[in-house]
Chain A
């Protein structure tokens, strides 16, 4: 069975995963699996976020104060850790986003020119 084109962790520029997670969290409180699913779905399966990179990244966000976490009940009556974005997380996301847009626009211009 042909594997979809999956990006591994090393393909993502540093900090990109955090940006994607923060963007996802602007939708509301989510648990880790939902975050991973959301990113995978929106990227058409290009970014398949593995637990080994997702959870350390989430822990980093917690340490930096950009996200908070609490235990809550899922609709299926199970307990899961729900992550939410903080005010400073939103600010950080805005900065990352504008930086990303500048860089990608610049890359696009260079690629077009050649």
Chain B
């Protein structure tokens, strides 16, 4: 109780502030008045009475200060004094202040940027959602022994699953599906506005608890999957930015793609979907643009891709929901073309990144970058601590004088801490500025395609910056404050003490070792990523990547019949063969590494297909004669397709080398038979006529895959070749592509202008994760290196300045320049060497944290470790060289006279 009463009193005092001080003054005056009254009435000697009255009244100001010292206001008075002192001190040493503020600003700013990124991905619930923790994302998880976790979860569902899940679940479980934001454009009269569209099932808004700000959301008939209803709900942000907050927006017709939609509502302000990728327009799922397959409507096929969310009532255990969901998923599996007995339903947070699905490489990298940022922060704090220690040592005499004048150690410590916290907060302000740029840059770098709903630096980030700045200020100030308030410092008041008092500071050296070690860890990280990137870049995908471009005709309406397409393409190909800028040209049903097609195949003499690298079956594409030569795949045995492989002739195919070895081990594949279709089908054998080199199917980094090729000229509609592959002669790939595109316009006069894509372009995104890792690690590593170099320099420079007299004596006694140099550089180098050693050990221990993000090298790569060590040693030597040269130039006469 007493604690609370006391606390309440203090709070009241703080709240009233100066007014409380006034209250005390009036209380004291009241006391003095009564006192004077008493004196006058009781004292007959008027003079004596007046004297005691004056005595009583005159001291009110003094008493007032005495009382004030008891109140919490006194603490603020002290703080004000200290801040004033800190401000003047900082202004007096601009170099020191700048070094400390910039170091902290970068250290904290980098962390704030990463914090803002990770907070949005993993912590910050999407705005506008009611009770977001009760909304769960659903996943299908399969057993995948080759994954590190042994399991792989997907959040992509086609409509048959959604229907089965809705039927299977208890009616209290509300379920909804939505597609991830899709870039498209709406046409409103003349204006064309790029937007992000999401198609949602009827329950979407109610599951999330989102209401309409204006108008209404999708209801009843509009949500029936069978009948497309062209209505749309738009976001408040879009309404304001693109429609000028038009009051008459409801009922307006806008065009999305080829359909016209009526705007029926505006979603609650701040709501922009639940993914980090912001949504501007929602349309009912029944407007999904799927064409259907084999006479089935799109919602009965597996071609759609929805994400699923559910709001589970608190009373219902999640396990029950998931058991029902698993059963529903398996029932769909049994009817579909895909069956996996290990499939189970899983639920995860409303935040996709926090769920069970495999993190994108960019997200994995961002979590490693968080660790790196923390290291940069530690280095920055260590550096500022070191700067403060050096400064404290310089101010030893000042502190001793103040102690001698009666300032208590506690008060002095408080003052020094105020100084370092003041520096920390200045650093925090710099960090906030840095984060404004850094957080946005990080977003653009890591997830460039994402349209973020929120600004990069929000309240949470600023709170983070403030706390980090405070922590940095306190931590950096603890040790220096302790050192300079130790009572033995009174010794330093003695004359001449400055020169004699130089000692090795173990703390300073330790901090330097820590900085060096951490910088080394970052350099090693950078080295590993740079080398990985190099190795990934040198992977041979089997294609002549640098010289390839793809061009395909685009048909605004229906595609012409397959036979006609092939005939016209063949004509274009034969014309292009004669173009000097084009070295090779071919047709294919699917551009290399842009996707894959599959069809059922059987071996007549085997019950099942042999397994290869965990996979049965092979992907297929239809290619024209000359395709292999054009893309750079060698024909290893047999022949390329030719004019003889026509419709009506013998069915032929060409297999990859790995396929030939796997399907017909020990014999030659040429002349063997592979049946397209099920065992029971009446399809004739296709004869293998050639074996070609292996190529990658999708990814630059992938396991070897089996592939086979059908002749384009024999292909059915499913494998109609629609893409021309151009191999340019010389460097001018785009020019060759343009010639091909022009030729396509001639062949298909009604087609839209063809898009030219180079192979290098289409592979580029695959190098991104490695390049990102290399860039971020390198940038932060160099930052750390610079900070560590400043640290080494400042410590060595200080030690040199303190040892001027010693150097003078040495030189006077005959020490040569080289002797002095090696003495001072040796000292710095020793510390750096210990740091490098510690850093190597830490790198070895921490290696497994990045191992999964590397390619082709282990985290313990000796060359990288050695390289980083050498770089750091060189930087350390250079940093201590500068002050050493100064030491060697000491004039003994001047040095001995100083002080």
Listed in ascending order, the chain A residues whose CB lies under 8 Å from chain B are: 1, 31-33, 36, 51-52, 55-56, 59-60, 62-66, 68-69, 71, 78-81, 86-89, 92
Contact = CB atoms under 8 A, between A and B. Distances in A.
A64 B70 CA distance: 11
Contact of B2 (A51, A56, A80, A89): A89
The 7 A-B residue pairs whose C-beta atoms are closest, nearest first, are A65-B5, A88-B2, A65-B6, A65-B2, A59-B70, A33-B34, A55-B67
Interface stretch (B21-29, B171-179, B429-437, B785-793): B21-29
A33 B1 contact: no
Contacts of B62: 52
A109 B10 CA distance: 43
A93 to B, nearest CB: 12
B24 A55 contact: yes
B447 interface: no
B63 interface: yes
Contacts of B4: 65
A66 B1 CA distance: 9
Contact of A66 (B2, B24, B45, B70): B2
A59 B34 CA distance: 20
20 contacts: A31-B27, A33-B34, A51-B32, A55-B28, A55-B31, A55-B66, A55-B67, A56-B66, A59-B67, A63-B10, A64-B2, A65-B1, A65-B4, A65-B5, A65-B8, A68-B5, A78-B30, A81-B23, A88-B1, A92-B2
B48 A68 contact: no
Contacts of A88: 1-2, 5
A62 B31 contact: no
Contacts, number: 79
Contact of A32 (B2, B10, B31, B60): B31
A19 B8 CA distance: 22
Interface in B1-25: 1-10, 23-24
B55 to A, nearest CB: 10
A76 to B, nearest CB: 9
Contacts of B819: none
Contact of B27 (A52, A66, A81, A89): A81
Given A51-B59, A51-B63, A56 B1 contact: no
Instruction: Determine the main DSSP class of A at the interface with B.
Output: helix
B69 interface: yes
A111 to B, nearest CB: 35
Contacts of B5: 65-66, 68, 86, 88
A65 B9 contact: yes
B896 to A, nearest CB: 53
A1 B6 CA distance: 44
B301 interface: no
Contacts of B69: 56
A64 B2 CA distance: 6
Contacts of A66: 2, 5
A71 B56 CA distance: 22
Nearest to A55: B67
A62 B694 CA distance: 87
B414 interface: no
B584 to A, nearest CB: 91
Nearest to A63: B6
Contacts of A86: 1-2, 5
A24 B63 CA distance: 22
A62 B59 CA distance: 23
B802 interface: no
Contacts of B9: 62-63, 65, 68-69
A87 B1 contact: yes
Nearest to A68: B5
Contacts of B27: 31-32, 55, 80-81
Nearest to A87: B1
Interface string B490-504: 000000000000000
Given A32-B27, A51-B28, A68-B5, 17 more contacts: A32-B31, A51-B31, A51-B56, A51-B60, A52-B59, A59-B70, A60-B70, A62-B6, A63-B6, A63-B70, A63-B71, A65-B4, A65-B6, A66-B2, A66-B5, A80-B30, A87-B1
B546 interface: no
